């Protein structure tokens, strides 16, 4: 059986030593009173909930899955899920980062993200139920009317009601302009929504008293394409004037998808047959509200893979220290045993360090992105808000795609550490691989994220935001460029930073002549950009650790941080050279292949 220990020391290092989140939070009026002890205490308790309450349900939930009564359309979640959700609600966890105006605790988003990392490590399938609710809450908070907020947000904050995002239809996924679900206006200002949705995560459950679907649909006179999509609130039970659930609405779960992973989460086929809904925002402007939820979800999905990378690493490390197999190539290390623990073997260490480096780099990026969102929403200086939002927009596809791709690499590597035992269900490793695999696919496939990064976020403003990130890199290079102890960390990012300008310009010029060039290069490009971002944070982490060591701190934690940084730059970062070469090969080798694909 696997185990899980919340990585509180790692979280504290990133928040307090690397990024000084409390210093930044004190500049934001809603969080001016925030302090280190409060954050640490909340996360310590959150870690207990994750490890003690929902982690024990992870393997059993995967084995049992969800079931549906085809007569009543009622869905049952795995044994223990409902009780765990009640514990979650009773503990006030749904309200953690919600607005006090709706009953929330008003804690920073970054604290909520750290909490959710632990939930994702412990049980991604379970964590998706409250996680989707947070996204729906954010969309309504940003674009709902005062009446809609009063009607729905208090109950979603308390956790009594859960939420979903209903986008995908059988014939269209990312291309939402092809959507067919219809919304017919009614005399009382409501709409009757009719259509079919698929792949709706947490689309039904037996844990909450109402389910709030945010549904994309078309008005009768809507223009074609994405410009004709509107957003609607469609509750499972219509809401009475006193706020209580009323009559059942004509929206129900028509079936469950049979999946590779996250089997403890309901992935529903949703049927709407004249379901009563109310519009969010303006007609034909539904994507404005939905993008709030989608962008939150993209950060959340990156966090899911971060959580799985961490828990997979923890278990592979424990196994590698315990499992004996063969002797070290440089001579016996455990002379009192018939063989050495497999952690003595170089390639086992490579697999372990790969997962460790990607987990810790991902945590640094996730925390930084979370603070950008805080600044975008709450900083008193308009320029800081604007700059933070711009940087977050560029980093979001990297968070989603780079961290989930790394999660795929890491969970597979950790399963490999177990050898044949990794392929066996009882150890839990193959579940981490299966659960992570969806993270690369939903909320916009990683190819879509790559096209978004290169086409919109970088070429769309002629590389202006990329240059702003380059200034952060340049500042660190200038600060540490003459420090010999930092050379192995600084030189690679300095070189890549310079190369990125030429690389981006070259791809952009080719794309101007032939748009397929952007499509051919985008996935490789995002991975190069991801390493530039990770490289920057790993160099900063090494900087912090080396300064602690120089100051006389003998905590081996800092030595380990430097060793991991050294591994990352020596073994993982050099991938960028190959990626830039393959990106430059162009689209012809892909598109001039009609005979090969006949």
Q: Give tens-digit pLDDT for 123-177.
A: 999 999 999 999 999 999 999 999 999 999 999 999 999 999 999 999 887 777 7
pLDDT (mean) for 438-465: 97
Distances (CA, A) of 525 to 75, 239, 456: 42, 48, 13
Report the pLDDT value the prediction gives residue 146, as an integer from 0 to 100.
Answer: 97
Please name which of 111, 104, 95 lies closest in space to residue 21, comparing C-alpha atoms.
111
Please tell me whether residue 268 adopts helix, strand or coil conformation. strand
Report the pLDDT value the prediction gives residue 407, as an integer from 0 to 100.
Answer: 98
Assess if CATH 2.40.110.20 describes domain 161-284: yes
The answer to whether 538 touches 569, Cβ cutoff 8 Å, is: yes
Q: pLDDT-based confidence at 293, cuts 50/70/90? A: confident
Rounded Cα distance, 121 and 315, in Å: 11
Pairing of strands 67-68, 161-166: unpaired
User: What is the chain's mean pLDDT, rounded?
Assistant: 97
Please name which of 88, 67, 89, 68 lies closest in space to residue 78, comparing C-alpha atoms.
67
Rounded Cα distance, 24 and 86, in Å: 34
Burial class (CB in 10 A: 0-12, 13-18, 19+), 582: middle
Report the pLDDT value the prediction gives residue 508, as an integer from 0 to 100.
Answer: 96
pLDDT at 593 over 90: yes
H or E element, residue 27: none
Q: pLDDT-based confidence at 522, cuts 50/70/90? A: very high
Find the Cα–Cα–Cα–Cα dihedral 356, 403, 17, 117, rounded to 10°.
-90
Rounded Cα distance, 315 and 54, in Å: 17
pTM > 0.95: yes or no: yes
User: Strand runs (DSSP E) across 29-113, as ranges?
Assistant: 67-68, 75-76
Rounded Cα distance, 562 and 324, in Å: 28
The tokens describing 111, both together, are 């604290």
Rounded Cα distance, 453 and 529, in Å: 9
Instruction: Using the Cα atoms of residue 544, residue 547, residue 548 and residue 549 in order, give the sign of their dihedral.
Output: positive
Q: Domain locations in the chain? A: 8-66+77-143, 161-284, 457-592
10, 204, 376, 443: which is the annotated catalytic residue?
443
Residue 443 bears catalytic tag = yes
pLDDT at 550 over 90: yes
pLDDT at 536 over 80: yes
Report the range of poorest mean pLDDT among 6-10, 174-178, 214-218, 548-552.
174-178
- Taking residue 197's Cβ as centre, other Cβ atoms within 10 Å add up to 26
Report the pLDDT value the prediction gives residue 206, as an integer from 0 to 100.
Answer: 97
Terminal-to-terminal C-alpha distance of the chain: 48
pLDDT at 252 over 80: yes
Report the pLDDT value the prediction gives residue 294, as an integer from 0 to 100.
Answer: 83
Assess if CATH 3.40.50.300 describes domain 8-66+77-143: no
pLDDT (mean) for 555-578: 98
The answer to whether 335 touches 327, Cβ cutoff 8 Å, is: no
Rounded Cα distance, 469 and 206, in Å: 45
Q: pLDDT-based confidence at 270, cuts 50/70/90? A: very high
């Amino acid at each position: 059986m696997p185990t899980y220990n919340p990585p509180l020391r790692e979280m504290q290092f990133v928040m307090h030593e690397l990024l000084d989140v409390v210093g930044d939070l004190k500049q934001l009026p809603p969080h001016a009173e925030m302090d280190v002890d409060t954050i640490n205490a909340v996360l310590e308790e959150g870690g207990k909930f994750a490890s003690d309450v929902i982690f024990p349900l992870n393997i059993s939930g995967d084995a049992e899955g969800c079931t549906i009564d085809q007569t009543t359309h009622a869905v049952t979640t795995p044994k223990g899920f409902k009780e765990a959700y009640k514990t979650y609600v009773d503990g006030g966890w749904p309200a953690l980062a919600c607005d006090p105006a709706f009953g929330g605790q008003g804690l920073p988003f970054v604290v909520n993200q750290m909490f959710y990392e632990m939930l994702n490590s412990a049980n991604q399938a379970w964590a998706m139920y409250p996680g989707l609710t947070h996204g729906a809450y954010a969309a309504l908070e940003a674009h709902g009317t005062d009446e809609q907020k009063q009607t729905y947000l208090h109950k979603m904050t308390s956790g009594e009601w859960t939420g979903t995002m209903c986008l995908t239809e059988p014939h269209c996924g990312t291309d939402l302009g092809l959507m067919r679900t219809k919304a017919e206006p009614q005399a009382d200002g409501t709409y009757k929504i009719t259509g079919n949705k698929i792949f709706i995560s947490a689309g039904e459950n037996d844990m909450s008293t109402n389910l709030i679907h945010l549904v994309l649909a078309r008005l009768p006179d809507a223009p074609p394409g994405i410009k004709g999509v509107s957003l609607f609130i469609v509750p499972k039970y219509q809401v009475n004037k006193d706020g209580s659930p009323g009559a059942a609405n004509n929206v129900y779960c028509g079936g469950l998808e049979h999946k590779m992973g996250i089997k403890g989460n309901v992935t529903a086929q949703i049927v709407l047959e004249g379901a009563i809904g109310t519009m969010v925002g303006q007609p034909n402007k539904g994507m404005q509200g939905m993008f709030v939820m989608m962008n939150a979800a993209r950060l959340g999905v990156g966090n899911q893979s971060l959580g799985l990378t961490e828990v997979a690493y923890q278990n592979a490390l424990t196994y590698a220290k315990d499992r004996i197999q063969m002797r070290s190539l440089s001579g016996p290390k455990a002379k009192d045993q018939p063989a050495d623990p497999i952690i003595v073997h170089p390639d086992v260490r490579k697999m372990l360090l790969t997962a460790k480096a990607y987990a810790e780099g991902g945590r640094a990026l996730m925390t930084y992105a979370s603070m950008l969102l805080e600044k975008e929403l709450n900083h008193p200086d308009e320029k800081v808000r604007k700059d933070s939002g711009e940087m977050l927009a560029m980093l979001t596809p990297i968070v989603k795609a780079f961290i989930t791709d790394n999660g795929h690499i890491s969970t597979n590597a950790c399963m490999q550490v177990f050898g044949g035992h990794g392929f066996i269900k009882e150890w839990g490793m193959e579940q981490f691989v299966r659960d992570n695999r969806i993270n690369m696919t939903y909320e916009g496939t990683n190819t879509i994220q790559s096209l978004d990064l290169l086409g919109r976020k970088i070429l769309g403003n002629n590389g202006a935001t990329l240059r702003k990130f380059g200034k952060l890199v340049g500042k660190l290079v200038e600060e540490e460029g003459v420090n010999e102890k930092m050379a192995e960390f600084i030189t690679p990012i300095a070189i890549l930073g310079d190369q990125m300008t030429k690389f981006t310009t070259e791809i952009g010029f080719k794309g101007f002549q032939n748009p397929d060039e952007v499509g051919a290069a985008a996935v490789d490009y995002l991975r190069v950009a991801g390493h530039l971002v990770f490289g920057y944070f790993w160099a900063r982490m090494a900087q912090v650790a080396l300064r602690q060591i120089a100051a006389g701190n003998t905590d081996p934690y800092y030595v380990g941080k430097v060793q991991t940084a050294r591994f990352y730059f020596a073994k993982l970062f050099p991938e960028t050279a190959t990626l830039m070469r393959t990106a430059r090969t162009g689209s012809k080798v892909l598109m001039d292949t009609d005979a090969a694909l006949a």
